[in-house]
Amino acid sequence: MAGEQTEGTTERVVTESHDPDFPEQFLTFMRSGWRDSALPVGPRPEVPNYARRRDAVGSAFPGETLVIPTGPEKVRANDTAYPFRPGSDFAYLTGDHDPDSVLLLRPTGGGHEAVLYTRPRSARDNDEFFRSRHGELWVGRRHTLAEKSTELGLATRPLSELAAALADCAPGRTRVLRGLDPAVDAAVAPYDPPAPAAAADAPARLGRDRELAATIGELKLVKDEWEIAQLRAAIDATVRGFEDVARVLPADRPVPEALLEGVFGLRARYEGGGVGYSSIVGAGEHATILHWIRNTGATRPGELLLMDMGVEGHQLYTADVTRVLPVSGTFSPLQRQVYDIVYAAQQAGIDVIKPGVAFKDVHLTCMRVLAEGLAELGLLPVSVDEAMDESSTVYRRWTLHGFGHMLGIDVHDCSNARKETYRDGTLDEGYVLTVEPGLYFQPEDELVPAELRGIGIRIEDDVLVTSAGAENLSAGLPRRADEVQTWLAAQREAGFRLPG
Ligand code: GLY
Ligand code: MN
């Protein structure tokens, strides 16, 4: 193998108590007699997108070194790990999905040079390839540094050189995306000089490292064409996943929530990398629990079923869609009344979305329709206007959460963006966000009539802000109550078949 491939591969080899011994004769035998193989890699089509994003981050911090790790695998137990999920910001800036890699953006004359520190492929002249848990006989073929450089369009160096590179980082001229890789966090001490006195009404000052996280979070607000295509694919697969679930949902007998979760998971794994977040499958009163992911219940004829699920595509972009189905096939008049309130709130929210509209105004639009509906149901203890007043918001006993959130490589995307640019900001062309109002009547709520208790309804769609307004990317799944009923009947008629 080429010299560069052997660099940095002296992994610590660990023997677990269940592992057999390694006699020297076996070790020597294993180290020879292997031929090389090449990966047929070329530059990925989105390489220019990664480069543009790195340029944008770099230009916010001229003359400074930026350190962006992906993070290590997370231990599940002992020597077993959870499936690795790359750091979202790292993946956004590199496209690399391997654990432990670190992106350095180092200042050069005109801007920054990008260097990816990453684990090269296993050599065959040491024991790493069959004894380390990262070794190729355990995890499969890794890229050589050259292969990775070609595929991702940036310079690569072995992880073994990272410590020296980090030791070279000047305090005060370096920012680290913290909280992802404890080793990187420890290697570069935080540096925050005392802040100058700020005006009383000035926004809270972020630390230097938080400024880096916020800058990336804000850059992610506007999706490029390639990202929108990724989201469309994940959402289309999600539509098919909901169809699968509707096809196995019997009208007349219980079915475990876990089975429905599994059927959606099958589609997610088949078409993408898996689910973008733990699927919420809430039958009956479980629908009133916002993040019901235990999924230990079962459907009951006559009740509602809330499902909040999204496929994550191979490049990590995820859908986030919620539908509520009447298990028996038709909504009861009361279920329908609540459903129609939530539908009207969601539609009102979607209708106001366009560039320049305040995020908060979409929220208030949805919430006012929900509050009006609660008043019609006779539940609000005060007028709608009073309930909507910032000093009250009592309607929230039954709405519980905001109208939605940004969506992208994370289900709750851009969460590091500053409050001023996100929650207190305005929408722009290229933003993708969920619109997901809901009404939830807890089974123990003494302030609602008994017949409403245990009803939970949320309708959630994924919306692209366009120059003209909003495009509902999840329109492939019907939302109006009568259309949901027709769609459910059609899925049942079609019947379930394994994908493929
Ligand atoms: N779909 C889960 C959430 O938005 O929190
Ligand atoms: Mn959501």
**346 CA to centre of ligand 2 in angstroms:** 13
Please check whether residue 320 is in contact with residue 276, taking contact to mean a CB–CB distance below 8 angstroms: yes
| pLDDT recorded at residue 79 | 86
Please check whether residue 476 is in contact with residue 235, taking contact to mean a CB–CB distance below 8 angstroms: yes
Atom of ligand 1 nearest to the CA of 308: 1
Please check whether residue 219 is in contact with residue 53, taking contact to mean a CB–CB distance below 8 angstroms: yes
Atom of ligand 1 nearest to the CA of 404: 4
| pLDDT recorded at residue 11 | 53
**366 CA to centre of ligand 2 in angstroms:** 15
Lowest pLDDT segment from 133-142, 251-260, 340-349, 476-485: 133-142
Within 8 A by CB and 6+ apart from 482, the residues are none
Atom of ligand 1 nearest to the CA of 460: 1
- One-letter amino acid identity for 247? R
Q: Does the beta carbon of 320 sit less than 6 angstroms from any atom of ligand 1? A: yes
Q: Alpha-carbon torsion 11, 15, 20, 24, what sign?
A: positive
**322 CA to centre of ligand 2 in angstroms:** 8
- One-letter amino acid identity for 472? N
- One-letter amino acid identity for 254? P
Query: Which CATH architecture group holds 24-193+205-212?
Result: 3-Layer(aba) Sandwich (3.40)
Answer whether residue 4 shows pLDDT above 60: no
Q: Rounded to an integer, what distance in angstroms lies between the CA atom of residue 448 and that of residue 392?
A: 19
Q: Alpha-carbon torsion 350, 355, 359, 360, what sign?
A: negative
Q: Rounded to an integer, what distance in angstroms lies between the CA atom of residue 43 and that of residue 274?
A: 25
Of 403, 436, 463, which is best to mutate to test ligand 1, by the most ligand atoms within 8 angstroms of its C-beta? 436
**484 CA to centre of ligand 1 in angstroms:** 21
Give the orientation angle of helix 225-247 with respect to helix 481-494, to 10 degrees: 70
pLDDT per residue as tens digits for the range 302-337 = 999 999 999 999 999 999 999 999 999 999 999 999
Rounded to 5 degrees, what are φ and ψ at 57? -65, -45
Rounded to 5 degrees, what are φ and ψ at 464? -100, 130
Answer whether residue 474 shows pLDDT above 80: yes
| pLDDT recorded at residue 17 | 74
Between the alpha carbon of residue 99 and those of residues 95, 200, 403, the distances in Å are 12, 43, 34
Of 295, 318, 320, 410, which is best to mutate to test ligand 1, by the most ligand atoms within 8 angstroms of its C-beta? 320
Count the residues in the chain: 500
**Pure H helices in 95-191:** 128-131, 136-139, 145-152, 162-167, 182-187
Of 261, 264, 291, which is best to mutate to test ligand 1, by the most ligand atoms within 8 angstroms of its C-beta? 291
Atom of ligand 1 nearest to the CA of 320: 1
- At 168 the three-state DSSP class reads coil
- At 438 the three-state DSSP class reads strand
Atom of ligand 1 nearest to the CA of 322: 1
Q: Does the beta carbon of 277 sit less than 6 angstroms from any atom of ligand 1? A: yes
Rounded to 5 degrees, what are φ and ψ at 481? -55, -50
Domain ranges of the chain: 24-193+205-212, 225-494
pLDDT per residue as tens digits for the range 220-256 = 999 999 999 999 999 999 999 999 999 999 999 999 9
Q: Does the beta carbon of 308 sit less than 6 angstroms from any atom of ligand 1? A: yes
Query: Which CATH architecture group holds 225-494?
Result: Alpha-Beta Complex (3.90)
pLDDT per residue as tens digits for the range 365-408 = 999 999 999 999 999 999 999 999 999 999 999 999 999 999 99
Between the alpha carbon of residue 30 and those of residues 24, 126, 459, the distances in Å are 10, 9, 57
**177 CA to centre of ligand 2 in angstroms:** 25
**What is the average pLDDT across 91-96?**
98
Residue in the block written with tokens 């916010």: 60
Atom of ligand 1 nearest to the CA of 405: 4
**289 CA to centre of ligand 2 in angstroms:** 14
| pLDDT recorded at residue 125 | 84
**What is the average pLDDT across 434-441?**
98
Of 321, 411, 433, which is best to mutate to test ligand 1, by the most ligand atoms within 8 angstroms of its C-beta? 411
**320 CA to centre of ligand 1 in angstroms:** 7
Please check whether residue 265 is in contact with residue 307, taking contact to mean a CB–CB distance below 8 angstroms: no
pLDDT per residue as tens digits for the range 275-289 = 999 999 999 999 999
- One-letter amino acid identity for 143? H
Percentage with pLDDT > 70 across the chain: 97
**411 CA to centre of ligand 1 in angstroms:** 7
Half-sphere exposure of 450 (CA within 13 A, CB side): 0
| pLDDT recorded at residue 12 | 55
* Arithmetic mean of pLDDT over the chain: 94
Atom of ligand 1 nearest to the CA of 436: 4
**307 CA to centre of ligand 1 in angstroms:** 11
Q: Rounded to an integer, what distance in angstroms lies between the CA atom of residue 114 and that of residue 122?
A: 24
What confidence tier does 444 reach under pLDDT thresholds 50, 70, 90? very high
